[in-house]
Amino acid sequence: MKKYLAILFVSTLIFACGSEETPSNSKASNKKETKAKAPDGKKIFKTYCTVCHGLYGDMEVNGAKDLNLSILTHAERVEIITNGKNVMTPFKGVLTDEQIAAVAQYTIDAFSKKE
C-alpha cells in the first residue's frame, strides 16, 4: 500500500511540474514578467484594513478613525499606515512601500468627501 501511495505521489508531482507551458516567444514572455503589476489598493484595504475601518471606512472599531472624515494628505496617510499611530498597527514590514502608497491613495479616492 505504501508503495502505491509513493508511486501516486511521485506521478502527481511529475505531472504538476511538467504541465507548465513553455512560451513560444521568450522575448515577449520576458517583457511581461519584468513589467510589474501595480498593487491594488482596494484589495489590500479589504484584506488588512476592513477589520477596524470597515468596508466603507466608517466602522471605527478598536479606536479606528472614520476615514470619511479624514483630511490627511497622501504623505500623512502613508506615514500612519507605515508606522501606525496610537492603537493602529504599523504595516511596515507587512506591506511594501508600493502597497502602502496604493492603500493611501485608495482611501483618498474612496472615502474623501468630494465637494
Q: Among 49, 53, 55, 71, which Cα is nearest to 63's?
A: 53
Tens digits of residue pLDDT in 3-46 = 554 554 444 444 444 544 444 554 554 455 556 799 999 999 99
Q: Among 5, 6, 107, which Cα is nearest to 50's?
A: 107
Whether residue 68 is predicted with pLDDT greater than 80 in this model: the reply is: yes
Cell numbers at 35, concatenated:
513589467
- Which CATH number does 41-111 carry? 1.10.760.10
Model pTM score: 0.68
Whether residue 48 is predicted with pLDDT greater than 50 in this model: the reply is: yes
